[in-house]
Structures are given as C-alpha cells and as structure tokens.
Structure 1
C-alpha cells in the first residue's frame, strides 16, 4: 500500500495574540503540494498575521506548523527560506537604490552564489523584466516593482510562494499577465495567495480558505465558497 504524502503545509491550533486581540485564533489549515490556494476574508480577519506565522516573521503563542510533516513552528524565518518558503510582502519590499539585477541577485545569494548571474537573469525573464536589469529599482512603475518583488521570490526556487495582495495597484492588463505567470508556476511551486480581487481569486485558486476574526469560516472549492451562505454574509455579500 502506497504511503500517504503529508500536506506541504499543515497548521494545528495556531494562535497569535497582540495583547488582548486574537489575530489568529486556533487555526487548523492544510495546503497541498502543487495547488494554488487563496486566503480571503475582510480587513482585520487575520490573513497577514497568519502568513507571518507560516513564514516565521512571527512566532505563535500556541499551535504547530508542519512543512511536509516536519515541525517548523519555532524555526527562524531565514531558515524557512532555505527550506523553500518565500513570502512577498503586501507593500513592495525592494531595495529602491539598487539596480533591478542586484535586487534579484541578493535573493539568489541567500541560497549561495553558484550560477548567480544565470539564475538572476532567468528570474527576471520569468516575470518579463529582462532588458531592465540595469535600471534603478526605485524608478520602476509600481506594477513593475511588484513584478520585481515576485522575481526576488522566484529566484529562491521556493516550494511554497506566499503572495500577499500581489495585484494591488496593477492595471487590468498587468493582472492578466500576473495570472498567466502564477498558473505557470504550478505544480513545481505551491502558491498561497492573499487577495481581495475576487475575480482573480475565483479564476486562479483550486481551493479557498476564508478567515474572519482570526478563525477559519470555511474552506473548499471556489464554487463551494461562492455558494456558502455564511461566507456570503460575512464577506462576499449576497
């Protein structure tokens, strides 16, 4: 009998408090390898706090985080990057005074300097920024800065890529290109997407988890989430 593969990410009873505020309140969550999974919910639902726990930017008060069955609950963020977790932030986190090339090269160096130039150029080409290598990153348009941030994440060759509001500020034409890019990443890379644009969510995600008040309200296919009365009331609107 074949062994059952562990989920890529599994959380059990994950909790994060800020003073008396329960930003993440006992969350059980499963992310299967090779899927595009969206995390949605109203502002203040705990989405960014939850992925901060997954990436190691914050540590939980209680609960566990498993990466392919390995307990990484207390592992520092930089060691999670080496294990294949890349997190692009809600606000662009580029180095504005460095060149486009150097921004991505710094990400590549996080995994060693071997084949630095080829890996850097390949990541830039993947997001359509080839030809802009020497441009100062801070002079890029907002949409191109978001793509640069994505290239920095892809340069790490992640097993899991966490995208936090990646289409915020993008033009419609840029969003179409972004969706095509994300689809091209799976199944080699698993994508966890935090996104308010419901058209993007419903178009890309194979599964959706809805958070509200730091708890999981529902999880399922896009069709099941769209039809869920509790989700309609809390977030989607009737």
Structure 2
C-alpha cells in the first residue's frame, strides 16, 4: 500500500524560530493518526503546512503521489484535504444548515439541485449530532457544538484526508464519547489526522501517534509504545493535564 501523504525535510521558519524543523512524516490510507506534544511544539504549524494554510521554508509535501508543496489551500481542498480550522470559519449569523451548505455546494459544483444539497447537508449534520439544530444561527450554538459544526463542514466535502485540530475542546463527556464513535465511522472511508490534548481520546482513537517537541518529531508508535516512551514522558505526558 502506498502512503497517502508524506513530507520530506519539511521546515518552516518564522524569523529565527524553526516552528517545524526538518520533519519526515508518512501517513497511510485509512489511518487514524494522533499528533500530540506540548504547547508550542509545532503541531498546528505542521498541519497548516499540510493543508496549504502556510507554505514551507524548505522541504516537500506529497499527497497521493503528487507534489503539492506549492499548491494553495483551495486546490488542496479539491484534491481531498480538509482541515477544520482552514476551510471552516463558522459564519455566526448563518444557520447551521447554511454553514454546511457552503462546502456542499463547492463539492457539487456540477449538480446544484436543492435535493442534492439538502441530502449532503443533512447527512453531515446527522453524523455530527446537529440535525435538530439545523435552523439555529451558528453563533447561538454552544461552543462545543460550533466545533462539531466545523467537523460537519469538513465532512460535507467528503475528504480523503480530514485534519482535526483540538476537536473535543468544549465538548461534554457524553459528546466526546459520541465524537469518538463519529471519528471511527469517518475512518471507514477517509484518513483522519487529529491534534488533540485529551489523551484518553487520542489513546482510544489513534492506531499510531506522532509526538512533536520543539518543531521535530520526538517519537512515533502505537498508543502502548508512546505511553511507555521515557522521552515522551519527560517532554509531555509527565506534565500534561486534561
């Protein structure tokens, strides 16, 4: 099986700071991969490089065998990369339905029938548990539900790779359990890359975990291997809370 996404020597500098420093990374189709690390480790900068939100200082990004290093974000979306914080800013005055309709219309550029759009929107809202809030203005949703709305907007694109940045922040314990089921369902037909500080969520979901520290990959492995890694314990797990 060929990798879905790889990076080689990927770096991003901001002045004298190397936020991402010479990262080689491989993601296989169908994976749920967790990314963890202390604040400032470079996690969000790294996934921003993957989705095209920012471009690298050096290095390459390959997706499905094609070099996408210089592609802008919207062209990466068309290729099947969805990043919740990149493609989705919740439009507070629009209803939840209309927020999701925007990416559905983008995906269905050749078929804009009302029935096709409604099916795509309600399918995404139902999967994220928001169907009963479809008519609510997005700005009136609870913070956790706004995060789920962002996930629904990403799902509406039917991506091959869905990147989720701290998706459980603001969710109740019950909502987190539902979210775990949702990600497992998504992974049946997409690859999922998830940045998450909630360690029980990462340990339950991820088949493999990549640990960032100071812009570099400190360790990679199964949840069991990461738990047992003394370097990870020193850098992150030993001082990580919540």
Q: Which TM-score tier does this pair reach, normalised by the shorter chain?
A: over 0.9
Which structure features the higher share of helix residues? 2
Give how far 1:187 is off.
Answer: 2.9
- Structure 2: how far apart are the matches of 1:147 and 1:55? 20
Helix, strand or coil: the match of 1:135? coil
Selected match of 2:100 from 76, 89, 104: 104
Q: Which contiguous aligned blocks of 4+ residues in structure 1 show a shift greater than 2 angstroms?
A: none
1:121 aligns with 2:117: no
Helix, strand or coil: the match of 1:89? helix
Give how far 1:186 is off.
Answer: 1.2
Which runs of 5 or more structure 1 residues have no equivalent in the other structure? Answer: none
Instruction: Name the residue aligned to 1:203.
Output: 204
Selected match of 2:74 from 50, 74, 78: 78
Give how far 1:110 is off.
Answer: 1.9
- Structure 1: how far apart are the matches of 2:139 and 2:151? 15
Instruction: Name the residue aligned to 1:220.
Output: 221
- Structure 2: how far apart are the matches of 1:42 and 1:132? 35
- Structure 2: how far apart are the matches of 1:96 and 1:230? 43
Report the TM-score when normalising by structure 1: 0.95
Give the stretch that moved more between structures: 226-235 or 81-90: 81-90
1:164 aligns with 2:160: no
Give how far 1:111 is off.
Answer: 1.8
Selected match of 2:42 from 39, 46, 49: 46
Give how far 1:109 is off.
Answer: 1.8
Instruction: State whether residues 35 and 187 of structure 1, in contact with CA within 8 Å, keep that contact through their aligned partners in structure 2.
Output: no
- Structure 1: how far apart are the matches of 2:43 and 2:33? 13
Give the stretch that moved more between structures: 128-137 or 58-67: 128-137
Give how far 1:22 is off.
Answer: 0.2
Helix, strand or coil: the match of 2:133? coil
- Structure 2: how far apart are the matches of 1:170 and 1:116? 28
Q: State the number of aligned residues.
A: 233
Instruction: Name the residue aligned to 1:67.
Output: 63
Helix, strand or coil: the match of 2:181? helix
Which runs of 5 or more structure 2 residues have no equivalent in the other structure? Answer: none
- Structure 2: how far apart are the matches of 1:66 and 1:155? 24
Give how far 1:118 is off.
Answer: 1.1
Report the TM-score when normalising by structure 2: 0.93
Helix, strand or coil: the match of 2:25? strand
Selected match of 1:12 from 8, 25, 29: 8
Instruction: State whether residues 33 and 187 of structure 1, in contact with CA within 8 Å, keep that contact through their aligned partners in structure 2.
Output: no
- Structure 2: how far apart are the matches of 1:144 and 1:236? 28
